[in-house]
Amino acid sequence: MPEIEPHVPNNALFGKYDLGRLLGCGAFAKVYHARNVRTGQSVAIKVINKKKLSNSSLASNIKREISIMRRLNHPNIVKLYEVLATKTKIYFVMEFVKGGELFAKVAKGRFTEDLSRKYFQQLISAVGYCHSRGVFHRDLKPENLLVDENGNLKVSDFGLSALTEQIRPDGLLHTLCGTPAYVAPEILSKKGYDGAKVDVWSCGVILFVLTAGYLPFNDPNLMAMYKKIYTGDFRCPKWMSNDLKRFLTRLLDTNPETRITVDQIINDPWFKKGGIKELKFHDDDDDEIKLDKENPQVKSLNAFDIISFSSGLDLSGLFDGPDNSRGIGERFVSTEMPEKVIETVEEFAKVEKLRLKRTKEWGVELEGQNGNLNAGIEVYLLTEKLVMVDVRRCGGDAVCFNNVWREKLRPRLVN
């Protein structure tokens, strides 16, 4: 019996998603429930209006959020399935978490220590995993924690997250961000901070809220609240166990140097009470990590990267206007290793008397032809035997680019 093709509504987004009710909205994005018309799977779609991203820093935040979410694959972190785009909008297609915000649940009344511990263990599992991937959330709060239909916690909203690459030479992050009541005291000092340590502080505030039903640091006057945070002025309610009170003082230690770490958290008696399976922050079976360990100089691509390089899903064009000069270029797969590709480009540059500048480990920029040529070339490792070569015109004259690239350099690289 022939398989019946599912009915696709005429107004389905990209012919794939049937957009439903509005789940929430912010200054720059709206989140909708949607259904994959072919599989019936429920998803959440975050819709970002490009016109509202006139501020370049906002566009950078979106790019960073994509970069961060593609690194993460953990049962307690909301999954990003794909990113789609039109001329006016960007769409994040994400896992739909049916239970809603943890904040809505705790707003009805404080949790028992056992239930708080369950959520806190899952939170630390997710946060420790993020830190192992060089990701720091920086805006952890109950509103950014979702609960699925099975009662499992999911961390969401990585819009304010930071990557290890953003750390300055002093070893610290310097961007002031976060939600006032959950912000760590060292952020208020404006002298730089450790991303992992501020996440731990926020986790401490969350645990306090879950078990007490109110914030540890709160005041109608913002400066008065900041003073309480800076001095660590909070009191645990009498119904908390002594083990939990002691644990919270370690989490909400105003000195980041002596504040408890994730590794110490998972060995704390209160955290371990009732039994918990070993938390594993590194996945030894992760193909991306294996490739990086074997050849750390080569940037490897996971499945999301490869999808995003396909036509129509090129993330480099998500934020640019129609006049983007980088719009001309080509991507192709080669069996040559990255070092061989770059070596061929270097030899070509010498013959053609072009200026060559290294931009990354396996990336170069070519300039010449009386200023008419400005091209960038980057190499990405797909598998142990395949690479992807990304060639782009960064400026200059399109005719010159086509002449140099298609007529001269391309035949040397494509095999």
Q: Which of the residues are catalytic?
A: 139
Judging by beta carbons within 10 Å of its beta carbon (0-12, 13-18, 19+), is residue 145 exposed, middle or buried?
Answer: buried
Structure tokens at 221: 């006057």
- DSSP secondary-structure letter at 142? G
Tell me the backbone φ, ψ of residue 213, rounded to 5 degrees. Answer: 90, 5
Interatomic CA distance for residues 288 and 298, integer angstroms = 11
> Is-contact 111 209, C-beta < 8 A?
no
The total number of residues shown for the chain amounts to 415
Interatomic CA distance for residues 89 and 364, integer angstroms = 31
Residue 134 — left, alpha, or beta (φ > 0 → left; ψ -120 to 50 → alpha)? left
Helices (H), ranges, 213-261: 222-231, 242-251
Interatomic CA distance for residues 308 and 313, integer angstroms = 5
Residue 366 — left, alpha, or beta (φ > 0 → left; ψ -120 to 50 → alpha)? beta
Structure tokens at 260: 């408890």
Tell the residue number behind the tokens 């691509």, with chain if given.
301
Query: Quick one: CA torsion of 362, 282, 284, 297, rounded to 10 degrees?
Result: 10
Interatomic CA distance for residues 236 and 249, integer angstroms = 9
Which residue type sits at 254? T
